Amino acid sequence: MRILITGGAGFLGSHLCDKLINQGHELICLDNFFTGRKQNIAHLLGHPRFELARHDVIDPFKFEVDQIYNLACPASPPHYQYNPIKTVKTSVIGAVNCLGLAKRVKARVFQASTSEVYGDPAVHPQPESYWGNVNPIGRRSCYDEGKRCAETLFFDYHRENKVDIRIVRIFNTYGPRMNPDDGRVVSNFIVQALRGEDLTVYGDGQQTRSFCYVDDLIDGFVRLMNQTGTVGPVNLGNPGEFTMLQLAELVLKQVGGNSKIVHQELPADDPKQRRPDITLAKKYLGGWEPRVPLEEGLKHTIAYFKTQV
């Protein structure tokens, strides 16, 4: 197949490019390099089945493709809050552009949505049927509401125009090729520990997240895209749940050194808990479930960051 991946030079996008190239597909990677990096896909440049387009998803684009994976959007809070209006445009206009293209060329189109659609969840763990608890006017809203609106657009194009959609709700995912300056918790802690700096735990560190290793997630992406049992949304993530203090201690144990834990102010609207209910993924994606435990995934990620910092 010929496949378009928006955000293909980012952390997740570049791993998806690797997986799809290895399956024999022809790829077009579209990225504006806001948070993505050429080094993530440098090994693919020059490959006869790989093409790179420097382009912004908010400007229309036309490619003859069979499938579209829409990943373009900054994912880390400091980056998506840097220019919040642009973040909304990227999610919403980017979705319209992908859906319009999918409609015209009859391509199947995949949306990288997020556990942030559940906001600060009052239901735990979160099943896809939960509508969420999202602040519409806060600092995280540009991302959360942008992604929620993109889901709305996907379903309206599906109902109105029979566009063949798939939606994944991604829970916190980590691994090699995260940008050292990304600002998300796993990369922050590892980079801080490797540099001998103190680990910055926001708030009391009792808030929880569930961390999925990138290989498990990308396997789930491709399974979701290529099955016909459900259009989604389907949660993908690792149900193992950790407090940020536990994560900091795990990183310190693996990296060693003299770094300590320091507490900083908790950002506004920071969700208190998050864990995916992955019943639907197991049912529709051929028994998919994460295979890489946090300790092992951290080992691979630390080895990567040792080459970067």
Footprint of ligand UDP (CB under 6 A): 76-77, 172, 184-185, 188, 200-202, 207, 209, 244, 267, 270
Pattern 60-79, binding to ligand NAD, x per CB under 6 A? Answer: -----------xxxxx----
Q: Which residues does the annotation mark as catalytic?
A: 143
Q: 1: exposed, middle or buried (C-beta count within 10 Å: 0-12, 13-18, 19+)?
A: middle
Question: Among residues 29 and 259, whose Cβ is nearest to ligand NAD?
Answer: 29
List the one residue out of 109, 78, 117 whose CA is nearest residue 271. 117
Binding residue count for ligand NAD, defined by CB under 6 A: 27
DSSP 47-111: -TTEEEEE--TTS------SEEEE--S--SHHHHTTSHHHHHHHHHHHHHHHHHHHHHHT-EEEE
Shortest spacing between CB 243 and ligand NAD, in angstroms: 18
Question: Among residues 125 and 163, whose Cβ is nearest to ligand UDP?
Answer: 125
Count of other CB atoms within 10 angstroms of residue 114? 22
Residue 277 token pair: 């209910």
Which of ligand UDP, ligand NAD, none has residue 7 at its interface (CB below 5 to 8 Å by kind)? Answer: ligand NAD
What DSSP state is assigned to residue 117? G
Select the residue interacting with ligand NAD from 1, 52, 58, 250 (CB under 6 A): 58
Shortest spacing between CB 269 and ligand NAD, in angstroms: 16
For residue 218, give the 3-state DSSP assignment: helix
Shortest spacing between CB 46 and ligand NAD, in angstroms: 19
Shortest spacing between CB 26 and ligand NAD, in angstroms: 20
282 CA to centre of own chain: 19
Kindly state whether residue 233 participates in binding ligand NAD, applying the rule CB under 6 A.
Answer: no
Question: What's the rounded Cα separation, in Å, for the pair 71 and 83?
Answer: 18
Question: Among residues 97 and 235, whose Cβ is nearest to ligand UDP?
Answer: 235
Specify the DSSP element, H or E, that contains 12: helix 11-22
Question: Among residues 72 and 185, whose Cβ is nearest to ligand UDP?
Answer: 185
Shortest spacing between CB 256 and ligand NAD, in angstroms: 26
Question: Among residues 114 and 301, whose Cβ is nearest to ligand NAD?
Answer: 114
